[in-house]
Amino acid sequence: MSAAVTAARAGLVRCGSCEKLSRARPLAPGARARCPRCGAVLWRRKPGSLERSWAFLLAAIICYVPANLYPVMEVGGPGGSEADTILSGVQAMFAVGWYPVGLLIFFASITVPILKILSLMGLLVSVQRRSNFSREPAGCTAPAPHPVGSSGSAPQATGRASPL
Ligand SMILES: [Zn+2]
């Protein structure tokens, strides 16, 4: 199995504003490459993407708690209506024999968000620790990162985004 061809390995950079792919060119130290179509600064990596991802993950964890503690639906019947949380709504669906609907609500509203949170947490920890898990086949080593336009010598990876 061969290593996947990525845009970075092919010497391409995507504009974050207009999505145009541009070929990486050598730059003077401190210079910034700009998109030929829209003029936006081109980045090899989106600046602060890890920090933003952690912030969104934390927000998701915080929002998950009230989403499951407060009523989100009202089930009505001849005897009146009752406000239900997601979990009590699932129990109400099971009580009236609507098992497929109850299961669907349970998986879509409780299980899937937890799996997404755990998956994203695992991915972020993996990226932050620079883990190679399942990125390359066993026995292969990933090439060292280098700035766009350089033709060989790779500086040390700093983990920070740098303009092109
Ligand atoms: Zn652009």
* Rounded-to-integer distance, Cα 151 and Cα 11, Å: 10
Residue 78 near residue 96, CB atoms below 8 Å: no
* Rounded-to-integer distance, Cα 139 and Cα 143, Å: 13
Q: Could you state, in order of their start, the residue ranges of all structural domains in the chain?
A: 7-44, 47-132
Total H helices, total E strands in the chain: 4, 4
CA of 48 to the centre of ligand 1 (A): 19
What three-state secondary structure class fits 61? Answer: helix
* Rounded-to-integer distance, Cα 65 and Cα 153, Å: 49
pTM > 0.75: no
Ranges in the chain, pLDDT < 50 = 1, 138-162
pLDDT (0 to 100) of residue 96: 93
CA of 155 to the centre of ligand 1 (A): 27
CA of 57 to the centre of ligand 1 (A): 28
CA of 5 to the centre of ligand 1 (A): 22
pLDDT (0 to 100) of residue 133: 63
pLDDT (0 to 100) of residue 6: 80
